[in-house]
């Protein structure tokens, strides 16, 4: 699988990553995982996982802490090599990490989103859809945890990727901020973009009418 970095700075911070298409097949099947076993240093964290993701499908991957949900996403991205099993992708993929509190670089919200796409319309639409347009001139490192998460979502969706991977999108958020983020995710339910979100949050599972897959 061939990988392309959207930009060096944010890749170093593991905020966003995009995979190029393997080919241009006309298919609704964007991602196929078969009998995947993944882990670190050849030691599996999980085994026997299979999943097909179709265009516009929204999926919640659930499981207890430590079961390998983040490992799964990193394996899909190619950051971790599978112990065995196959992953076939024919789509562009964007990734939103679990926590962005380590970002201290002085950059505005608009500049963060613009790293994905310099189209003014796409930037504005992504900011509006994630309710962050009013934050566009703020420095990213001055935002609250919930605001940072929404800006990271805006950046992912601004990339116009066909598949978006979200790693525990409501982690480190208070109840009200979590509710607001779930409402934003509802806005994408009828979009063509496919989403895989990993979570162990029962409130998220109950609030989103998405397909649930257990790891």
Residue 126 reports pLDDT greater than 60? yes
Average pLDDT on 46-61 reads: 96
Please state the pTM of the whole predicted model: 0.85
Q: Return the CATH number at 135.
A: 3.40.50.300
Residue 23 reports pLDDT greater than 70? no
Q: How many domains does the chain have?
A: 1
SS3 annotation, 91-145: CCEEEECCCCCCCCCCCEHHHHHHCCCCCHHHHHHHHHHCCCHHHCCCEHHHCCH
Q: Which domain holds residue 164?
A: 3-214
CA terminus-to-terminus distance, the chain: 23
């Amino acid at each position: 699988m061939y990988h392309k970095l959207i930009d060096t700075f944010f890749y170093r911070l593991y905020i966003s990553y995009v995979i190029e298409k393997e080919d241009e097949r006309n298919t609704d099947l964007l991602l196929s995982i078969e009998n995947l076993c993944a882990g670190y240093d050849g030691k599996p964290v999980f085994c026997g996982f299979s999943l097909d993701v179709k265009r516009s499908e929204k999926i919640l991957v659930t499981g207890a802490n430590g079961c390998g949900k983040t490992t799964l996403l990193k394996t899909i991205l190619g950051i971790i090599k599978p112990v065995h099993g196959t992953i076939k992708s024919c789509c562009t993929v964007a990734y939103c990490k679990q926590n962005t509190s380590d970002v201290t670089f002085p950059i505005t919200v608009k500049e963060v989103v613009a790293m994905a796409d310099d189209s003014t319309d796409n930037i504005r639409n992504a900011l509006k859809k994630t309710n962050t347009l009013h934050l566009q001139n703020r420095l990213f490192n001055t935002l609250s945890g919930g605001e940072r998460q929404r800006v990271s979502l805006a950046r992912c969706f601004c990339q116009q990727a066909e598949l978006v991977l979200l790693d525990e999108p409501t982690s480190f958020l208070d109840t009200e901020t979590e509710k607001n983020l779930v409402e934003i995710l509802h806005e994408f339910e009828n979009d063509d973009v496919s989403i895989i979100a990993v979570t162990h949050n029962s409130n998220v599972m109950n609030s989103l009418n998405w397909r649930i897959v257990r790891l």
